[in-house]
């Protein structure tokens, strides 16, 4: 499997990331291990999970995916060959939704324990928290990076203007924007054509939403460290149409 750059971090990851949402819950241990083994045998090394997966399944309370991944990596002794991404922010039993500093710190520690690892390669804010100052959220992630518990920071399910706000806040506070992705978002109005992908080499943050009838695009620049919209499938909508994202130039 070919690899692509993760933003401008200097790290290469698999072009296809394996989402592990239902491993350890809907999929039993044997099936989950088989899927993971097949992915690795095919050359994959990029795994995506979250602390809440899969709290909505019967008998589950969150953390099942991370727990299974931790056990599998321990048995296979392959942690050093994998790039593991997880997320914090959504509520699950016993944990409130939010990105307060203490929530980020506590949930990261839990994820480290469940994953049986010392470092999370990519930790993402899974959902925006507009009740918490952006500076508090960024500083919490920054402390985790400085402590060696997180390598890169990303965002999921954020509006474009909030990502720009995060970028500005990181610049003012010297927060975790040490390896920012520079992305171009196109807001597409209705028209006869579709949005074409860039010709430059794609990155792990690069994805294209084919917007039926899109012909006119206005670029909006935004940054946030190791932004991972491709991983999380963030799909924005606006009053003028749907938004297609091209993240290259990282």
Helices (H) and strands (E) counted in the chain, each on its own, are 6, 11
Is residue 215 in some structural domain?
Answer: no
CA distance 77 to 131: 41
Specify the CATH number for the domain of residue 15: 3.20.20.100
CA distance 56 to 21: 11
Is residue 167 in some structural domain?
Answer: yes
Is residue 51 in some structural domain?
Answer: yes
Query: Quick check: 2 and 15 in contact, CB under 8 A?
Result: yes
- CA trace torsion 125, 152, 61, 127 (10° rounding): 10
CA distance 80 to 67: 17
CA distance 58 to 61: 9
Is residue 204 in some structural domain?
Answer: no
CB within 8 Å of 135: residues ≥ 6 apart: 169, 172, 173, 175
Is residue 192 in some structural domain?
Answer: no
Report which of 155, 164, 168, 167 is spatially closest to residue 129, judged by C-alpha positions: 155
The rounded radius of gyration (Å) of the Cα atoms in the chain is 18
Active site residue 53: yes
Is residue 42 in some structural domain?
Answer: yes
Q: What is the pLDDT along the chain (250 residues), one digit of tens a residue?
A: 999 998 878 899 999 999 999 999 999 999 999 999 999 999 999 999 999 999 999 999 999 999 999 999 999 999 999 999 999 999 999 999 999 999 999 999 999 999 999 999 999 999 999 999 999 999 999 999 999 999 999 888 888 888 888 888 776 655 554 333 323 332 333 333 333 344 444 444 322 222 233 222 223 233 333 333 333 333 333 233 333 232 322 2
**Total domains present in the chain:** 1
Q: Tokens at residue 32, please?
A: 């989950």
Catalytic residue selected from 22, 33, 39, 53: 53
Enclosing domain of residue 174: 3-179
**pTM reported for the whole predicted model:** 0.71
Is residue 47 in some structural domain?
Answer: yes
């Amino acid at each position: 499997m070919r690899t692509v750059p993760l933003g401008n971090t200097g790290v290469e990851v698999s072009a296809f990331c394996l989402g592990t949402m239902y491993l350890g819950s809907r999929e039993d241990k044997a099936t989950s291990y088989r899927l993971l083994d097949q992915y690795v045998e095919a050359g994959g090394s990029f795994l995506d999970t979250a602390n809440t997966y899969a709290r909505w399944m019967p008998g589950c309370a969150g953390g099942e995916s991370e727990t299974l991944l931790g056990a599998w990596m321990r048995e296979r002794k392959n942690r050093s060959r994998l790039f593991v991404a997880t997320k914090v922010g959504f509520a699950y039993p016993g944990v409130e939704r939010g990105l307060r500093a203490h929530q980020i710190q506590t949930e990261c520690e839990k994820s480290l324990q469940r994953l049986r690892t010392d470092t999370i390669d990519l930790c993402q804010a899974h959902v925006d928290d507009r009740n918490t100052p952006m500076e508090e959220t960024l500083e919490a992630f920054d402390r985790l990076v400085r402590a060696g518990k997180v390598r890169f920071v990303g965002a999921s399910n954020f509006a474009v203007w909030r990502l720009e706000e995060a970028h500005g806040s990181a610049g003012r506070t010297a927060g975790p924007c040490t390896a920012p992705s520079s992305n171009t978002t196109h807001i597409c109005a209705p028209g006869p054509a579709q949005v074409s992908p860039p010709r430059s080499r794609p990155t792990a943050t690069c994805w294209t939403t084919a917007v039926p009838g899109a012909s006119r695009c206005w670029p909006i620049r935004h940054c946030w460290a190791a932004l991972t919209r491709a991983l999380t499938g963030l799909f924005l909508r606006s009053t003028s149409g749907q938004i297609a994202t091209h993240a290259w130039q990282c």
